[in-house]
Amino acid sequence: MALKTNIRFPQRGGMPEGDPANTHDLLTQEELESRGILFTSLDKLFRWGAGWSLWPLQFGLACCAIEMICTTQSRFDMSRFGYEVFRNSPRQADVMIVAGTITEKMRPAVELLYHQMPEPKWVIAIGSCAISGGPFVDSYSVVAGADKVVPVDVYVPGCPPRPEAIIDGMLQLKAKLSHPERKQVVRDDK
């Protein structure tokens, strides 16, 4: 990114000869950052911060919720990434983890909880039930996937997914947060 900024590097002694700063040229963002000046927009700063401190809504639906709880326990310890602050009230949360089967009876409650969360908010669907209805897809009482009810950002497959996968899902959400321009965050570890 060779964006020209209109920040001039202060002229002090000790600058090497021929340095662009000495010639009163405009500096690029990289040049500034290499000199230890962080140049960012408020939005980028916010996204960086939010990516490290997502507050999930404590809200379990079925079997997958147990693995979600395991992820917060001492063995897998989600708090290493700053995601352990599970909130009981939707008003204080910014990530909804849909962990389990959504039934027709539960659907209005899930929808209401989503609308009660303040913007900006994200949704992670954990387990095949939340992705597509899973093993219960043809049941008379099951909603075939969380995305029929709320917009979903990250899908974590498994029945139930292992805690490592749930952590990976949270990290995918972080990647999505820091690169909103990307349509789909693809994994680069082949």
Partner 1 sequence: MSENGNAYSERYTLNLGPQHPSTHGVLRIVADFDGETCISADPVIGYLHRGMEKLLESRTYPQGLPYTDRLDYLAGVNNNLPLALAVEKLLGVEIPERASLLRMLTCEIMRLASYMVGIGIYIMDLGAVSGVFYPFQQREYALEVMSALCGARMTQGYIRFGGVQADWNDEAEAALDVLYKELPPFIEMYHKLIDENEIFLRRTKGVGVITAERAKSYALTGPNLRASGVDYDLRRDAPYCLYDRFTIKVPVQQAGDCHARYAQRMLEVEEILKLIKAIHAALKETEPGKIMGAVPKMLRPPAGEAYAQTENPKGIMGCLVASDGKGVNPLRVHFRRPSFDNIAIFSELMPGHKVADLIAIIASFDIVLGEIDG
For partner 1, the binding residues (CB under 8 A) are 58-63, 65-67, 69-70, 73-75, 88, 100-101, 103, 105-106, 109, 113, 135-136, 138-142, 159-160, 162
Residue 64 binds to ligand SF4 (criterion: CB under 6 A): yes
In whole angstroms, give the CA distance from residue 180 to residue 185: 9
Residue 56: contacted member of ligand SF4, partner 1, none (CB under 5 to 8 Å, by partner type) = none
Residue 101 binds to ligand SF4 (criterion: CB under 6 A): yes
In whole angstroms, give the CA distance from residue 137 to residue 129: 8
Q: Are 97 and 56 in contact (CB under 8 A)?
A: yes
91: three-class secondary structure by DSSP: helix
Peptide bond into 56 cis (omega under 30): no
Residue with token string 């996937």: 145
Binding to ligand SF4, residues 3-62 (CB under 6 A): 62
Closest separation in Å from C-beta 101 to ligand SF4: 5
Residue 127: contacted member of partner 1, ligand SF4, none (CB under 5 to 8 Å, by partner type) = ligand SF4
- Sheet of 56-57, strands arranged across: 56-57, 95-99, 122-126, 154-156
Pick the piece of the chain touching ligand SF4 (CB under 6 A) from 33-41, 46-54, 122-130, 143-151.
122-130
Residue 156 binds to ligand SF4 (criterion: CB under 6 A): no
Output 20 or 158, the one with its CB closest to ligand SF4: 158
Helix axes 42-52, 163-178, angle to 10 degrees: 180
**Identity of the amino acid at 108:** P
Output 82 or 157, the one with its CB closest to ligand SF4: 157
Q: Which residues contact ligand SF4 (rule: CB under 6 A)?
A: 62-64, 100-101, 127-129, 134-135, 159-160
